Amino acid sequence: MTSKKQLKLRIRARMAKTGESYTAARRHVVDRPEPATDGAWTFHGGRHPGSAAIAGVLANGGVPVGEPMVFLAGGGIGAGYILWEFKHDGSRHLTLGFRNQWQYHDRWTAKALDRLGVGFTAHTTSGAKGASAALAAELDAGRPCIVLPDRYRVGYWGLPESLDGHGGHPVVVYRSDGGDVLVDDRGTAPIRVPRTRMDAARARVPSYKNVLHVLDPAPIDAGRLASAALEGLRDAAEHLSAASGSFSLPAWRKWSRMTVDRRNAKGWPKVFADGRGLAGALLSMWEGVEPVGADGGNLRDLFADGLEEAGALLDLPLAGLAEEFRRIHGLWHGLAEAAFPLDVPEFARMRALTARIRESLLAEGTAGGGAGADAGTAAAGAGGTAAGEDPRATAGGAGAVMPQDAADGAAELRELREAVDRASPVGDHEALFADLSTRLAEIHRAESEAVAALRDLVRERGRG
C-alpha cells in the first residue's frame, strides 16, 4: 500500500471515529502540513463555511485574519432546531443551527465584514442570467467570489434527492476555466464545477437571490480587530439571551422536550413511532453536531478559539469561558456519539462512508479526476443540458463532478440510509430518546450559564 493511500485511510478513520473535520483530522495525522495551492490561490481549509470563506479570501488578498476572529466578528455561536418530515419517501432530516443568525447568510456576512472594516460588494438578483454574468465578470477581473449554491444542486456532495432545494453553505469561487468554475470549500484541492451547474445551484433557492459577495481586502489593525471582537461578543450574548424557541438557546430546551413528548405531533415518540426514518434523522444529527458535517458542526470549539484571541486583544478574562465552551463542545460530541454510535454496525459503516466522501472530495477535489468531468465540461461549454448539468447524475455516471471514490461512497451511503430508514437498527427507542433528552437538557443548562457569564463580562466593558 502506498504511503499516500495509507495517509488517506488514516485521515478517514480519524474522521469517522472522532467526527472531526477534514482539516482537523489532516492536521493530527500529517505533521505540519504545507498549504496546498492552485496557481496563485492558496487553500487554507477551515471549519465553518462562512468564516472560512471570508478568512480564505482575506488571506489570499494578503490580510491574514484567522477564522476564529472572523467567526467571532459575526457574532459567534447560535442555536436552532428543525425536524423535517418528508411524506413522499418517509425520510426525516434534522436541521441544526450553531452560528449566530444561522438562517441569514447575507446578514451575517455583511455584519462580520462591516465590523472587520472590510469593504465589499454584494450582488443580488432574481434573474439567473444576470447572476451568471455578474459572477463571470468578477472572475474575469481576477476577483474571487463568495457564493451560496444549493448543496444538492451543486452536485459534489452526492446528497439524496429529498434534499433538493434545502439550501447550502457559502463557498469561494476563485477562478474560471473554460466552461467550469473552480471552488474552494475548505479542502486542499480545487473542486471543478460546470458553470451551468453552479448557476442552477445558486438560483435554486429563491430567497438567496443568487447572492454573491466580492471582498476588497485591506490591512486590519489591532484596534479594529479589538472593536470587531467586542461587538461580536456583545452580539453573541444578546442573541443567545433571546427567548426564541427556534433561533436562540431555548431551542435546545425545546429539542430536549420533543425527544420524549408523546402528545405533541412533532414529538419524537410520535414522529418515529414505527422507527421509519429514525436512522436517517440520527445520521443528520451526527453530521450536524460533529465537525465532519458540511456546516462545521456545533462550532463551540471555534468560538472558544475566538474567545482566547479576544481575551488578549481586549484584556478581558475570557480564558475560563473559552475552556468552558471547549467542555460544552465535548458535551455535544457525547450527544452525537450517543445518537449514532460506532457499536451499531450500520451506523459505523455510514460514518465511514461519510468520512470517505468528505476526505476524497476535499483532498482530491475534482480537477482532472472527476468522473465524467470532460463530458460535463463539454456540454456546459456548448450550452447543452447533458448529464453534467443534472445533479441526480453526480453520484455516478457521465458528467459527475465528484471524484469516483466519493461518488461510489455516496451511492452506497444513500442505499444504506434508505435500508435502515425502512427498518431501524436501534433497539430501544424509548431509552435512546430519554438519554438524548437528558444530554440536551444538560447542554442547555451549561450554555445558558456560560452565556450569562459572557453577558456580565461584556456589560462591564464600556462602549467607548
* Strands 171-177 and 180-184, bridge-based pairing: antiparallel
Main-chain dihedrals φ then ψ at residue 268, nearest 5 degrees: -60, -40
* HEC profile of 10-41: HHHHHHHHHCCCHHHHHHHHCCCCCCEEECCE
- pLDDT over 70 (residue 370): no
Distance CA 11, CA 32 (A): 14
Give pLDDT, residue 417: 93
Neighbours of 210 (CB within 10 A): 25
pLDDT by residue (tens digit) across 285-300?
999 999 999 999 999 9
- pLDDT over 70 (residue 385): no
- pLDDT over 60 (residue 367): no
Counts of helices then strands in the chain (DSSP H, E): 18, 10
pLDDT by residue (tens digit) across 57-110?
999 999 999 999 999 999 999 999 999 887 777 778 888 999 999 999 999 999
Provide the 8-state DSSP code for 321: H
Q: What is the pTM of this model?
A: 0.91
Percent of the chain having pLDDT more than 70? 92
Give pLDDT, residue 163: 86
In our burial notation (b when 16+ CB lie closer than 10 A, e otherwise), range 19-36 reads bbbbbbbbeebeeeeeeb
Contact between 429 and 211 (Cβ < 8 Å) = no
Comparing 231-240, 377-386, 421-430, which segment has the lowest mean pLDDT? 377-386
Percent of the chain having pLDDT more than 90? 80
Q: What mean pLDDT is predicted for residues 37-42?
A: 96
pLDDT band at 392 (very low <50, low <70, confident <90, very high): very low
pLDDT by residue (tens digit) across 312-355?
999 999 999 999 999 999 999 999 999 999 999 999 999 999 99
